[in-house]
């Protein structure tokens, strides 16, 4: 039993599942794990597309050997050099010293820098092809999805797009590989969490790549993470297209930072008003107790965002600062935005949120509500007014 999975007559998934890493990139929780996908094409020449994280070297090499026996791997095509995919390159080269490593000019800088590999490489340019026998591979340079060297590889014979990080998602492949084998409800949230946290900053380039690939007749999409899309590749293309164009559903995410409950009371007033004014999808989060990656994920789904914060040591509450930094970093736009906050002896949270509102291209809705000490009935009326105005703006956007 080698645990490789056959995809077509000649192509196999030889990736691995990671259920041991707690934090992807030492930042993002992996409650459902993640897969590192590598693919092997067995033709007159044997080619691998990407490798796996270094921790899984041994099982990766065993899978390859189980499939090809005493034959050699002729080519390693590198779509992406981030070490979750390039970590096994050195071991692969040691196992197959004649292996030719294929990438673009930028790939080679990473290859030399990370692994001191400078020989036995083949530099390709956008549009170049590689002949394996039956299979012809075409290369498409797609920089910044998600690093400068990223590219995609299209197999003309089986019409499979090996897409790198694009169209990928969190969630290990628990006995499944293809979209027609799995419950999409299980994976959908983790796929959007992956997009919104890892790829969203580069949304304009994702959008551009999708337009460029529209001429290809794609039968299957095989990304570096997550399921292989063979029944409905358009599903994942459309999801990525929507997210990268900042298209959203009707709903509002309300996030508050509160130490002693005063800002929380304001958030609840806003949320109640949203409900009374026609919003069905309301997500209310305590920024201290919901991981920022989950909050970003929800914000990426919905049209409305309302942020409220208390103050801490003369500055905005630290977990809220983390959230708004991350949203600025991802160039949040095309949202309806509301802000509020509270303080006791020093202001600053609301002014920081107002500064955030100027940085992102969102529609700021009045009133901006700021309370000293605890919100009284008049202040809660203002929170209600804010919720009402956000609801109207979201519905009429
Ligand atoms: Fe999965 Fe950008 O690496």
Quick one: tokens of 176? 């499944």
For residues 221 and 260, state if they share a domain.
Answer: no
- Distance between alpha carbon 266 and the CA centroid of its chain, in Å? 32
Tell me if 16 sits within 8 A of 173, measured CB to CB: no
Q: How confident is the model at residue 387 (pLDDT cuts 50, 70, 90)?
A: very high
CA of 38 relative to ligand 1 center, distance in Å: 12
Domain that holds residue 270: 252-396
Residues 234 and 364 grouped into a single domain: no
Determine if ligand 1 sits within 6 Å of the CB of residue 18. no
Q: With a 6 A CB cut-off, is 165 part of the ligand 1 pocket?
A: yes
CA-nearest of 119, 71, 122, 62 to 96 is 71
Arithmetic mean of pLDDT, 223-246 = 98
279 & 185 share domain: no
- Whether residue 21 is found in the same domain as residue 148: yes
Q: What is the Å distance from ligand 1's center to 396 Cα?
A: 37
Q: Which atom of ligand 1 is the closest one to the Cα of 150?
A: 2
Q: Which atom of ligand 1 is nearest to the CA of 165?
A: 1
| C-alpha dist (Å) from residue 148 to 10, 39, 71, 205, 361 | 30, 22, 33, 11, 25
Q: Ligand 1: distance of its center to the CA of 84 in Å?
A: 6
For 133-152, what is the mean pLDDT?
A: 97
Give me the mean pLDDT over the 17-37 stretch.
98
370 lines ligand 1 (CB under 6 A): no
Residue 168 CA: which ligand 1 atom is closest?
1
Ligand 1 pocket residue status of 82, Cβ below 6 Å:
yes
Is the CB of residue 192 less than 8 Å from the CB of residue 226? no
Q: For the residues 352-369, what does the mean pLDDT come to?
A: 98
Identify the DSSP state of 105.
H
Residue located nearest, by CA, to atom 3 of ligand 1: 82
**Stretch 135-154: mean pLDDT:** 97
- 81 Cα to the center of ligand 1, angstroms: 8
**Residue 187: is its pLDDT beyond 70?**
yes
| C-alpha 82 – ligand 1 centre gap (Å) | 5
Percentages helix, strand, coil for the chain (3-state, rounded to 5) are 40, 25, 35
Q: Which two tokens stand for residue 5?
A: 């999975």
Tokens 């394996």 belong to residue: 132
Q: Answer yes or no: is the C-beta of 193 below 6 A from any ligand 1 atom.
A: no
- Alpha-carbon distance of 280 to 274, in angstroms, equals 8
296 and 234 share a domain? Answer: no
Strands in 136-141's sheet, in edge-to-edge order, are 129-131, 136-141, 151-155, 160-164, 220-223, 228-229
Q: Are residues 181 and 95 in the same domain?
A: yes
**Residue 97's CB: how many other CB atoms inside 10 A?**
8
> Is residue 44 a contact partner of residue 82, using CB atoms and an 8 Å limit?
no
What is the pLDDT, as a whole number, of residue 219? 98
- For ligand 1, whether the C-beta of 230 sits within 6 Å is no
Same domain, 65 and 166: yes
Q: Are 239 and 266 members of one domain? A: no
50 lines ligand 1 (CB under 6 A): no
Closest CA to 5 of 30, 35, 44, 45: 35
Q: Do residues 252 and 258 lie in contact, with contact meaning Cβ atoms separated by under 8 Å?
A: no
For ligand 1, is residue 80 a contact (CB within 6 Å)? yes
Same-domain pairing of 291 and 228: no
Name the percent of the chain lying above pLDDT 70.
99
User: What is the structure's pLDDT at 21?
Assistant: 98
Orientation of helix 233-244 relative to helix 203-213, angle to 10°:
140
Atom of ligand 1 nearest to the CA of 146: 2
Q: How far is CA 109 from CA 51, 152, 305, in A?
A: 17, 18, 41
Query: Would you give the DSSP letter of residue 195?
Result: I
Q: How many domains does the chain have?
A: 2
131 contact partners, CB below 8 Å, separation of at least 6 = 45
What is the C-alpha radius of gyration for the chain, rounded to an integer number of angstroms?
24
The overall average pLDDT reported for the chain is: 97
CATH code, domain with 188 = 3.60.15.10
Residue 36 CA, ligand 1 centroid: distance in Å: 9
Q: Do 119 and 38 lie in a common domain? A: yes
* Tokens 């949304």, residue located: 203
Position 186 scores a pLDDT of: 84
- Dihedral angle of Cα 54, 206, 284, 378, to the nearest 10 degrees: 140
Which of 198, 219, 244 is at the close of a domain? 244
Q: Is 146 in the pocket of ligand 1 (CB under 6 A)?
A: yes
Summarize pLDDT for 64-121 with one digit per residue, the tens: 999 999 999 999 999 999 999 999 999 999 999 999 999 999 999 999 999 999 999 9
Atom of ligand 1 nearest to the CA of 224: 1
Last residue of a domain, one of 202, 222, 244: 244
Burial 32-69 (b: 16+ CB within 10 A, else e): bbbbbbbbbbbbebbbbbbbbbebbbeebbebbeebbe
Average pLDDT over residues 23-33: 97
Supply the pTM of this predicted model: 0.96
Q: Strand pairing partners for 11?
A: 41
Using the mean position of ligand 1's atoms as its centre, give its distance from the Cα of residue 352 in Å.
32
Same domain, 73 and 154: yes
Which atom of ligand 1 is closest in space to residue 36's alpha carbon? Answer: 1
CATH number at residue 311: 3.40.50.360
pLDDT digits (tens, 9 = 90+) for 254-312: 999 999 999 999 999 999 999 999 999 999 999 999 999 999 999 999 999 999 999 99
Q: Is the shortest distance between the CB of 84 and ligand 1 below 6 Å?
A: yes
Element (H, E) at 151: strand 151-155
pLDDT value at residue 381: 98
Distance 143 CA to ligand 1 centre (A): 13
Give the model's pLDDT for residue 2: 60
Packed helices 318-329 and 292-301: angle between N→C axes, nearest 10 degrees: 50
pLDDT of residue 3: 85
Q: Are 243 and 300 in contact (CB under 8 A)?
A: yes
What token pair was written down for 394?
């979201």
As a whole number of angstroms, the distance between CA 338 and CA 349 comes to 14
267 and 191 together in one domain: no
Instruction: Give the per-residue pLDDT at 136.
Output: 98
């Amino acid at each position: 039993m080698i645990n490789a999975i056959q995809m077509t007559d000649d192509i196999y998934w030889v990736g691995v599942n990671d259920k041991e890493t707690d934090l992807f990139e030492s930042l993002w929780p992996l409650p459902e794990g993640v897969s590192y996908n590598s693919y092997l094409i067995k033709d007159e020449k044997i080619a691998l597309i990407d490798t796996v994280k270094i921790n899984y070297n041994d099982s990766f090499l065993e899978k390859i050997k189980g499939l090809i026996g005493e034959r050699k791997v002729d080519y390693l095509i590198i779509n992406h050099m981030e070490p979750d995919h390039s970590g096994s390159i050195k071991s692969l080269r040691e196992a197959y010293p004649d292996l030719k490593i294929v990438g673009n000019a930028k790939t080679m800088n990473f290859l030399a820098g990370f692994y001191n590999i400078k020989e036995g490489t083949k530099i390709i340019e956008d549009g170049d092809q590689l002949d394996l026998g039956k299979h012809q591979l075409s290369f498409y340079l797609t920089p910044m999805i998600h690093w400068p060297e990223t590219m995609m590889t299209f197999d003309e014979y089986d019409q499979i797009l090996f897409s790198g990080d694009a169209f990928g998602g969190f969630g290990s492949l628990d006995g499944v590989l293809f979209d027609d084998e799995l419950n999409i409800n299980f994976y959908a949230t983790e796929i959007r969490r992956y997009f919104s946290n890892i790829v969203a900053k580069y949304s304009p380039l994702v959008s551009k790549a999708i337009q460029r690939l529209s001429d290809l007749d794609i039968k299957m999409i095989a990304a570096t993470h997550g399921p292989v899309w063979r029944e409905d590749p358009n599903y994942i293309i459309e999801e990525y297209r929507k997210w990268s164009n900042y298209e959203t559903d009707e709903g509002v995410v309300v996030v508050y930072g509160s130490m002693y409950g005063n800002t929380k009371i304001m958030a609840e007033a806003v949320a109640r008003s949203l409900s009374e004014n026609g919003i069905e999808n309301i997500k209310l989060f305590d920024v201290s107790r919901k991981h920022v990656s989950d909050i970003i994920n929800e914000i990426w789904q919905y049209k409305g965002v309302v942020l409220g914060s208390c103050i801490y040591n003369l500055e905005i509450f630290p977990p809220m600062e983390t959230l708004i930094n991350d949203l600025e970093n991802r160039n949040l736009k095309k949202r309806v935005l509301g802000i509020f906050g509270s303080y006791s002896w020093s202001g600053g949270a609301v002014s920081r949120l107002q500064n955030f509102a100027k940085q992102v291209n969102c529609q700021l809705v009045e009133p901006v509500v700021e309370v000293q000490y605890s919100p009284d009935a008049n202040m809660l009326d203002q929170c209600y007014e804010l919720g009402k105005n956000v609801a109207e703006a979201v519905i009429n956007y």
